[in-house]
Amino acid sequence: MSITAKWLRYGAAAAGFAALAVTANTASAETVIKWLHLENQEPVVEVWRQVADEFEQANPGVKIEMQFLENQAFKAKLPTLLQSSEIPSLFYTWGGGVLKAQSETGVLRDITPALDADNNKWRDTLKPSSIAGMTFDDQVWAAPVLNGVVSFFYNKELFDKAGVDGTSIETWDDFMGAVKTLKDAGITPIAGGGGDKWPIHFYWGYLAMREAGHDGFMAAKAGENGGFAGEPFVAAGEKLAALGALEPFQNGYLGATWNDALAAFGDGRAAMILSFENTGRTQISNSTDGKGLAEDNIGRFAFPVIEGAPGVVTDNMGGLTGWAVTKDAPPETEKFLEYYTSPDVARRISEVQKVIPVTIGVADSITDPLLKSSAEALADETWHQNYLDQDLGPNVGAVVNDMSVAIVSGATSPEDAAQQIQDTYELENM
For 211-232, the DSSP string reads HHHHHHHHHHHTT-TTGGGSHH
Q: Are 166 and 296 in a shared domain?
A: yes
Handedness of CA 245, 191, 288, 300 (dihedral sign): positive
Cα separation, 385 vs 214, whole angstroms: 9
Cα separation, 3 vs 6, whole angstroms: 5
Cα separation, 236 vs 245, whole angstroms: 14
Q: ∠ CA(395), CA(401), CA(405), 5° rounding?
A: 145
pLDDT at 3: 37
Helix (H, G, I), strand (E, B) or coil at 316: strand
Q: Are 251 and 190 in contact (CB under 8 A)?
A: no
Q: Are 217 and 425 in contact (CB under 8 A)?
A: no
Q: Which strand (E) or helix (H) includes residue 273?
A: strand 272-275
Number of other residues whose CB lies within 10 A of the CB of residue 5: 9
Q: Are 240 and 226 in a shared domain?
A: yes
Interstrand relation of 272-275 and 151-155 (parallel, antiparallel or unpaired): antiparallel
pLDDT in tens, 110-131: 999 999 999 999 999 999 989 9
Interstrand relation of 31-37 and 90-93 (parallel, antiparallel or unpaired): parallel
Cα separation, 139 vs 112, whole angstroms: 6
pLDDT in tens, 155-197: 999 999 999 999 999 999 999 999 999 999 999 999 999 999 9
Own/partner contacts of 67-70, CB < 8 Å, gap of 24 or more, are: 67/34, 67/35, 67/36, 67/37, 68/36, 68/37, 68/38, 68/39, 68/40, 69/36, 69/37, 69/38, 70/38, 70/40
pLDDT at 336: 98
Residue type, 370: L
Q: Are 173 and 194 in a shared domain?
A: yes
Number of other residues whose CB lies within 10 A of the CB of residue 116: 14
Q: Are 335 and 301 in a shared domain?
A: no
Q: Are 195 and 253 in a shared domain?
A: yes
Q: Are 233 and 210 in contact (CB under 8 A)?
A: no
Select from 415, 421, 407, 404 the least CA-distant residue to 242: 407
pLDDT at 26: 42
Q: Are 141 and 243 in a shared domain?
A: no
pLDDT at 172: 98
Through-space distance between the first and last CA atoms of the chain, rounded to whole angstroms = 54
Helices and strands (H and E) in the chain: how many: 19, 13
How distant is the alpha carbon of residue 361 from its chain centre?
Answer: 21
CATH code (residue 30): 3.40.190.10
List all residues 6 or more positions away from 85 whose beta carbon is below 8 Å from its beta carbon.
Answer: none
Q: Are 9 and 134 in a shared domain?
A: yes
Number of other residues whose CB lies within 10 A of the CB of residue 128: 11
Q: Are 215 and 292 in a shared domain?
A: yes
Q: Which strand (E) or helix (H) includes residue 284?
A: helix 279-286
Domain boundary residue among 373, 388, 410?
A: 373
Secondary structure letter of residue 429 according to DSSP: H
Q: Are 402 and 329 in a shared domain?
A: no
Secondary structure letter of residue 100 according to DSSP: H
pLDDT at 95: 86
How distant is the alpha carbon of residue 90 from its chain centre?
Answer: 18
For 55, phi then psi, to 5°, come to -65, -40
Domain boundary residue among 357, 373, 389?
A: 373
Number of other residues whose CB lies within 10 A of the CB of residue 162: 18
Determine the structural domain holding residue 394 and report its residue range.
Answer: 151-317+380-429
Own/partner contacts of 266-269, CB < 8 Å, gap of 24 or more, are: 266/292, 266/293, 267/292, 268/155, 268/157, 268/158, 268/293, 269/188, 269/191
Q: Are 325 and 313 in a shared domain?
A: no
Q: Are 168 and 72 in a shared domain?
A: no
Domain count, the chain: 2
Instruction: Report the chain (430 residues): mean pLDDT per 10 consecutive residues.
Output: 40 44 47 94 94 97 94 86 92 90 94 98 95 95 96 98 98 98 98 98 98 98 97 98 98 97 98 96 95 97 98 96 96 98 96 92 89 93 93 94 98 98 93
Q: Residue length, the chain? A: 430
Q: Which strand (E) or helix (H) includes residue 58?
A: helix 42-58
* SS3 labels along 142-192: CEEEEECCCEEEEEHHHHHHHCCCHHHCCEHHHHHHHHHHHHHCCCCCECC
pLDDT at 10: 40
Q: Are 97 and 238 in a shared domain?
A: no
Cα separation, 136 vs 132, whole angstroms: 8
Phi-psi region of 354 (alpha: psi -120 to 50; beta: other; left: phi over 0): left
Cα separation, 18 vs 214, whole angstroms: 46
